[in-house]
Homo-oligomer: A and B are copies of this chain.
Amino acid sequence: MELKSQGMPETNTQDILNLEQTDRMFHTLFSFIKQLVDISEHDQALCRKFFKPVFVPKDTLLESEGTVHQFHNFIVSGFMRNFFRDEDDKEMTTDINGGPRFFTSYHSFIHQTPSNENLHCITDCTLLRINRKDNEIITLTGDTSQQYVGKILEHYLESSRQRIIELNTLTAKERYLKLLDTHPGILQYVPINHIASFLGINPGSLSRIRQEISA
């Protein structure tokens, strides 16, 4: 499959997303943020000013390996995955998510170093994006941005810890069932191949597992 590479999303954005849609998108963002901190009106205004709504068609490579990733992405809707290539040039999917959630190659974005990761929109996606300079402005002038960054890093660290424990203790079948449980609808939108890679299971093996389950 040929992936579209990304053109200039801002240009076609205004055509497609109207004000009401944009409002809903920011509402989704703020609901997400409020799970961790109490975001002030002032900071909400900052976000509205600097985060840009974007519609991205399916099978677009939003950011790609070898480049410095330009944006911090918040998935409002749609499924994305994060993958890199191993020594044998095989794609390894390290993350899959259908939002709402931030989905970014954080290290590359913050430190402005080339990434080995690719951000791939599997389905049509609506995103809120912010570039690095604007993100820095929010970080420096927001009331609670620093606090939020700390909390969200902490949160992802805890998720990682959990995932490590699961990889260490659960069988392939259990990991698969757990994924279906926590990501309802994922089967409908994400190719099994990517799910297998994400779970560290061989595609053939996963196929057998699916057969066992349905039997």
Contact = CB atoms under 8 A, between A and B. Distances in A.
A168 B92 contact: yes
B153 A157 contact: yes
A209 to B, nearest CB: 16
Interface residues of A, number: 24
Interface in A84-108: 86, 92, 94, 106-107
A154 B106 contact: yes
A144 to B, nearest CB: 13
Contacts of A153: 150, 153-154, 157
Interface string A139-172: 0000000100110011011101101110111000
A151 to B, nearest CB: 10
A160 B164 contact: yes
Contacts of A149: 150
A57 interface: no
Most buried by B among A110, A158, A160, A165: A160
Contact of A169 (B106, B169, B200): B200
A68 to B, nearest CB: 17
Nearest to A201: B168
Contact of A200 (B158, B163, B168): B168
Copies per assembly:
2
Contact of A164 (B150, B154, B164, B169): B164
A94 B161 CA distance: 8
Given A107-B158, A153-B154, A156-B157, A164 B165 contact: no
A71 B161 CA distance: 20
A169 B92 contact: yes
Interface of A: 86, 92, 94, 106-107, 110, 146, 149-150, 153-154, 156-158, 160-161, 163-165, 167-169, 199-200
Given A94-B165, A167-B167, 7 more contacts: A92-B165, A150-B150, A153-B153, A160-B164, A163-B164, A164-B164, A164-B167
- 3 nearest CB pairs, A to B: A168-B200, A160-B160, A153-B153
